[in-house]
């Protein structure tokens, strides 16, 4: 059985991924490695950098996940800067930036990046939605980031924070063309 360290400081990410991969013959372990968050132009570039750095440190196969919020009216900002924006101006600041915009369309973009001694592979997707007019509290207690409190997938009128993982994955299957989750699952299922 292949051992893969899922490198994240977010325990909820690890728990969700573990559930999704429960019948795949890999031993997924949680690793909280302090990695530099590079400032690059895409979320995928951030994921690749972090996966390669984690592999250098751990010296065995690793998986990282990076995601971001792209807001159409803000020229896809904050994108790869989502974590920084979340930690500085927060959701209130994002809502304030949108107060004079009628277009509230947005995407949650994510990339899983797997790295071993021979390759680096990425699996990316995005989910279309919109930014709500106000924050909605997190009732599921499984969120991966604060932006879940303001992002509504599809045309829902409530935030991602108000959806269980099962509800969210059911909705995702109807509003996206590909799934990084499915691509990652299929890759790991066939990993030799």
Residues involved in catalysis: 66
Question: Whole-angstrom Cα distance, residue 169 to residue 163?
Answer: 9
Under DSSP, the state recorded for 85 is H
Please, is 114 exposed, middle or buried when counting C-beta atoms within 10 Å of its C-beta (0-12, 13-18, 19+)?
A: buried
**Other beta carbons less than 10 A from residue 120's beta carbon:** 14
Question: Whole-angstrom Cα distance, residue 26 to residue 61?
Answer: 11
Q: How many residues does the chain have?
A: 192
What's CA 99's distance to the chain center, in Å? Answer: 26
């Amino acid at each position: 059985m292949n051992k893969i360290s899922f490198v994240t400081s977010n325990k909820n990410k690890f728990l969700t991924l573990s559930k999704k991969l429960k019948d795949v013959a890999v031993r997924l372990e949680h690793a909280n490695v302090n990695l530099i968050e590079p400032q690059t132009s895409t979320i995928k570039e951030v994921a690749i950098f972090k996966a390669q750095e984690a592999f250098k440190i751990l010296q065995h196969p690793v998986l990282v996940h990076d995601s971001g919020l792209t807001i159409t009216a803000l020229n896809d900002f904050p994108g790869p800067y989502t974590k920084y924006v979340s930690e500085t101006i927060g959701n209130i600041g994002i809502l304030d930036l949108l107060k004079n915009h009628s277009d509230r369309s947005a995407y949650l973009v994510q990339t899983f990046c797997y790295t071993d001694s021979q390759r680096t592979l990425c699996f990316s997707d995005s989910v279309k939605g919109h930014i709500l007019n106000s924050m909605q509290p997190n009732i599921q207690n499984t969120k991966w980031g604060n932006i879940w409190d303001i992002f509504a997938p599809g045309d829902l009128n409530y935030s991602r924070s108000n959806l269980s993982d099962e509800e969210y994955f059911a909705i995702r299957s109807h509003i996206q063309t590909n799934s990084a989750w499915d691509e990652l699952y299929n890759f790991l299922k066939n990993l030799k």
